[in-house]
Amino acid sequence: MSLETISTNRSHGGTQGVYKHRSSETGTDMTFSVFVPDHAEGETLPVLWYLSGLTCTHANVTEKGEYREACAQHGVIFVAPDTSPRGDEVPDDEGYDFGKGAGFYVDATEQPWAANFRMRSYIESELPALLAASFPVDMDRQAITGHSMGGHGALTIALRNPERFRSVSAFSPIVSPLACPWGEKALGGYLGGDKAAWREYDACALIEDGARVADLLVDQGDADGFLEEQLRTPLLVAACEKAGQPATIRMQAGYDHSYYFISSFMAEHVAWHAERLAT
Active-site pick, 23, 52, 148, 169: 148
User: Which of 207, 202, 212, 217 lies closest to 172 in space, CA to CA?
Assistant: 217
Q: Could you check whether the bond before residue 37 is cis, i.e. omega within 30 degrees of 0?
A: no
As a whole number of angstroms, the distance between CA 8 and CA 255 comes to 32
Which stretch of DSSP H or E encloses residue 261?
helix 259-277
224 is catalytic: yes
- The CA-based dihedral angle spanning residues 275, 211, 98, 170, taken in that order and rounded to the nearest 10 degrees: -20
Amino acid present at 205? A
Active-site pick, 58, 152, 257, 269: 257
CB count in 10 Å sphere of residue 241: 11
Residue 61's contacts (CB-CB under 8 Å, 6 or more residues apart) are 33, 50, 52, 67, 80, 147, 259, 262
38 is catalytic: no
User: Which of 201, 219, 203, 207 lies closest to 263 in space, CA to CA?
Assistant: 219
Active-site pick, 52, 202, 224, 273: 224
Active site residues: 148, 224, 257
